[in-house]
Every structure is written in C-alpha cells, then in structure tokens.
Amino acid sequence: MCRQNKGSIEPLVIGTVVKECDEGIEEGILLCSSQACLSEFPIIDGIPIIVPNLRAYVSGNTHAILKRNDLSDTMESLIGDCCGPGSEFDTQRQHLSIYNQAHFSDLQAASEGTDLLPGNAKSAMKTLVDSTTSNLAIPNGPILDIGCATGRGTFEWTQKTNDLVLGIDLNFSFLRTANKALTQGFISYPKRRCGLVYDYHKIDLGGFSETSKADFWACDALNLPFCDNQFDLATSYNIIDTTQSPFDCIQQMHRVLKPDGLAILTTPYDWTGHVTPVTSWIGGHSQRCTSGGDPEKRLRELLCQQQDYQFTILEEGTGQPWTLHLHDRCLTQYLVHWFRLQKKAVTDDCSSTGN
Ligand SMILES: C[S@@+](CC[C@H](N)C(=O)[O-])C[C@H]1O[C@@H](n2cnc3c(N)ncnc32)[C@H](O)[C@@H]1O
C-alpha cells in the first residue's frame, strides 16, 4: 500500500507471534514498519496474507479462512448434499478437486506403479519445469511462482534450485492445501466423481526432498508486495486470463524480476467477461481490426514493445496440453501458448527465436 500510494518502500516486520511450530510462525501479525502506516497483515495457518485491501480479502474469503479440517469424509459429504450445487462449499470443493487432480494425480499413478488412470494427466507444471531446466541454465536465486494454486510448480522448482521458491495465490483453500503438504509430506483432497459425490485422496509427496525451500503466501499478482528486482525467475502459468488486468500481471512480474531474470508464461487465452473486462483481453475481440483479434500477436507486442518494461522472447510454442478433470466423465483440455522470457533493458531490440 505504501509503495502504491506514496511510492515508498517500507519493509514488513513481525508484530505479534501467537503460535509457532517447527516450520515457523503458524499464527501472527506482520506490520508495516512505517509509523505513519502500521498496517497489519495476518499469518493464518502458516500463510501470510499480504494484500493491498485486507478488509475486502478477509471478508470475501471467510468461508475458506475459517474452514475446519477435522470433519470426516462422511460429514463433508453430508454437508455437500445440504449446501447443494453452486454453493460456496461446492465451488471450493470442485476447485480443490480440479487443481489437485491436475497437479498431483500423476504422482499417485507413479507411486502405485500404474499407468495414468483415465482422467489423470501428466502434470503440465512438471513438463514445463523439466523442459525449461533442460533448455536453459537456471540462475541460483529466489523463484516466484505466481498463481501457484495447490503448488505443484512450486514443489517442482524446489528440486531444481538451491534458493527459496515462493508460491503466491489469492485462493486461500489452495494455499492451505499446499502449505499443509509442506508440513505433512502429503496432499489430501476431494476428487469429484459425479455431481456432489467425492472420493478423498491422499498422495505422498516424499519424492520432493527439498520442500523446506518452499513457502506459500496469499498475495495479489496485480500488486506484488516485493521490491523491484528481487527474483531470478518468475512463472505465470495460466493466470493472466483469470485476472482483471493481464497487463498489470505481466508488468508486475517484470518489475520484481532481477535484470536478465527469466520468466515462464503460459496461457490458454480462455477469456471470460465476468473476470476480465473485454477491453483488457489480449486478443479475442474486434476481429475486424488488422490483428483479426489474434491473441498471440497481441501478447507478443505486450511482452516486447512496451515503453516502461520489455522482455526478450527466448523461446515460445503453442499447443502444450493442459488437462483439467471436472469429474470422472468430463475432462477439459486446453492447448496453451507458452513463452520462455528474459527481462531486458528497455532500450535493446526485442527478438524472437521461437516458432
Ligand atoms: C487457471 S488457475 C492456474 C493455476 C496453476 N498456475 C496451474 O496452471 O495449474 C489460475 C490461478 O491464479 C490464481 N489467481 C487469479 N487471480 C490472481 C491474482 N490476482 N493474484 C494471485 N493469484 C491469482 C487463482 O486463484 C488460480 O489459482
């Protein structure tokens, strides 16, 4: 808030520690160090919530923040039936099913020595991280996973770097699942079978030996609470079309990267008017203009031809599959456009070596 409103950089300090565990502060309050501000940012269940409008975030997310985790699967199922389709409970459970399934179901098949079950896809995160590290030298410095959801990309990066990997998202249920995995070594989640019927899964994350390097924070990709030039690598997998302002999302990612820092950006350009105003879509409208509404061309321009920030496109490709399991008889597959990028000085030329 201080950076946005006054242009001043004020570090956060630990104000109150209510509860601690081996991994750090489980419950407490961070404070803005400016005496004129002293804004509070809570840490709940080990997750710092560092967003510009805390009142709006907490009041809009009370369901997720206050959700208890001690009820049996039987009781969750009964509550799900009572709340019914379209309820907050139902929406949250469906999202947990979709993203945990997309991120972790391949690990279950691997641990059971079976082929991928129908409806389970190899994690797109793993594919992207593996192909990046086999093509580029990854600098040893902090990594930011923007829109990390339940954290598979963050976990994958901990295996490839000696430094810290921070996953940020605004979905508190996702962050809680990811954060619990750090302390417990497994992911547990409801997998949607059909309608309001869910099976509860537990997937061992023992293969990730470096999870102490990871952390998960609630932060807004459109207003990242970091100084400029902090991260060596930033990822933005399939998030720009889920925000109000794809442009701000890209600009913020650029801002927090160190000079020459690397970025990976993927998107299926799956625009919806209730999330992103049409005027902020990248392509996907006004097909009568010279670009014909082509999102790929427009995104390249947004990445490379801005006055106040620019990336170099190191590599790009289109058609990387990203599969989401909606229920046992319904999969959605996106073909995402992906980029490997490097932050560059604004005066250089912008070149693409991609296909
Ligand atoms: C389509 S999902 C992609 C998740 C994950 N990166 C993946 O590819 O599986 C978009 C994610 O971005 C998060 N998100 C949307 N807007 C955000 C914002 N302004 N700040 C941080 N996260 C955001 C959502 O909560 C969600 O987890």
The predicted-structure confidence for 231-251, as pLDDT tens digits, reads as follows 999 999 999 999 999 999 999
pLDDT for res 350: 46
Res. 307: pLDDT tops 90 = no
Q: 21 and 122 share a domain?
A: no
Res. 196: pLDDT tops 80 = yes
* Across 288-310, average pLDDT: 92
pLDDT for res 210: 87
Compute, in angstroms, the gap from residue 220 CA to the centroid of ligand 1.
10
Q: Kindly state the percentage of the chain with pLDDT values over 70.
A: 94
Q: pLDDT category, 171, cuts 50, 70, 90? A: very high
Q: 227 and 312 share a domain?
A: yes
pLDDT for res 37: 92
* Across 219-238, average pLDDT: 96
Q: What is the DSSP letter of 322?
A: E
Res. 116: pLDDT tops 70 = no
Q: 183 and 266 share a domain?
A: yes
Q: 52 and 183 share a domain?
A: no
* Across 44-65, average pLDDT: 97
Compute, in angstroms, the gap from residue 179 CA to the centroid of ligand 1.
16
Phi first, then psi: give them for residue 203, nearest 5 degrees: -120, 125
Report the mean per-residue pLDDT for the chain.
91
pLDDT for res 23: 83
Q: pLDDT category, 308, cuts 50, 70, 90? A: confident
Name the residue with the closest Cα to ligand 1, atom 25: 171
Compute, in angstroms, the gap from residue 148 CA to the centroid of ligand 1.
6
Q: 222 and 261 share a domain?
A: yes
pLDDT for res 346: 58
Is residue 348 a part of any domain in this protein? Answer: no
Number of domains in the chain: 2
CB 256 within 8 A of CB 232: no
Hey, which of 94, 104, 242, 322 would you mutate to test ligand 1's pocket, going by the most ligand atoms within 8 Å of its Cβ? Answer: 242
Residues with CB under 6 A from ligand 1: 99, 102, 147, 149, 168-171, 174, 220-222, 237-239, 242-243
Is residue 99 a part of any domain in this protein? Answer: yes
Strand order in the sheet with 257-267: 12-21, 24-32, 40-44, 47-50, 214-219, 165-169, 143-146, 231-237, 257-267, 330-343, 311-327
Please name the helix (run of DSSP H) or strand (run of DSSP E) that holds residue 342, with its range, or none.
strand 330-343
Of 312, 355, 311, give the one whose Cα is nearest residue 337.
355
Q: 84 and 178 share a domain?
A: yes
Is residue 203 a part of any domain in this protein? Answer: yes
Q: pLDDT category, 58, cuts 50, 70, 90? A: very high
User: What is the bridge-based pairing of β-strands 197-204 and 186-194?
Assistant: antiparallel
Is residue 120 a part of any domain in this protein? Answer: yes
Is residue 292 a part of any domain in this protein? Answer: yes
Query: What CATH number should be reported for the domain holding residue 133?
Result: 3.40.50.150
99 versus 320: the higher-pLDDT residue is: 99
Q: Kindly state the percentage of the chain with pLDDT values over 90.
A: 78
Range of the domain at 44: 2-65
* Across 278-302, average pLDDT: 94
The last residue of one of the domains, among 47, 65, 83, is: 65
Is residue 106 a part of any domain in this protein? Answer: yes
pLDDT for res 114: 65
Q: pLDDT category, 54, cuts 50, 70, 90? A: very high
